[in-house]
Amino acid sequence: MQLKLKRIAPLQAGKMLAAFYGLLSLLFVPFMLLFMAMGSFAARQQGGGAMPALPFMFGMGVGFMVLLPFFYAAMGFVFGVISAAVYNLLAKWIGGLELEFEPNQPPLN
């Protein structure tokens, strides 16, 4: 069975992408914290002259990591709404995506 996707609800797409990118960013945060800590320790070992104190640098990095999922979610929402609106406009002009589905049949006993 072939169906055509005519329209995507922009706000729903925005909510879905906000949740998706917000959760996806949680996968990156531990690695970014690890690399940030390694970089700040390496910079201190190199004797970086007039560098701020290590706890200050690390605290700013941790603060950024706390805000990162919210930033990703906000960007996901904005670009989800924009992408859905652009898709809807293009679907009117050139037609939507053609998707092929298979009917779900119960197993025979």
pLDDT tens profile 93-104:
998 899 998 888
pLDDT tens profile 21-77:
999 999 988 888 888 778 777 766 766 555 666 667 677 778 888 899 999 999 999
Instruction: Please report, to the nearest 10 degrees, the dihedral formed by the alpha carbons of residues 103, 15, 25, 84 taken in order.
Output: 70
How far is the C-alpha of 73 from the C-alpha of 71, rounded, in Å?
Answer: 5
The pLDDT value recorded for residue 47 is 64
For the chain, domain boundaries: 13-46+53-95
Element (H, E) at 89: helix 54-94
Nearest to 70 by CA among 8, 34, 108, 21: 21
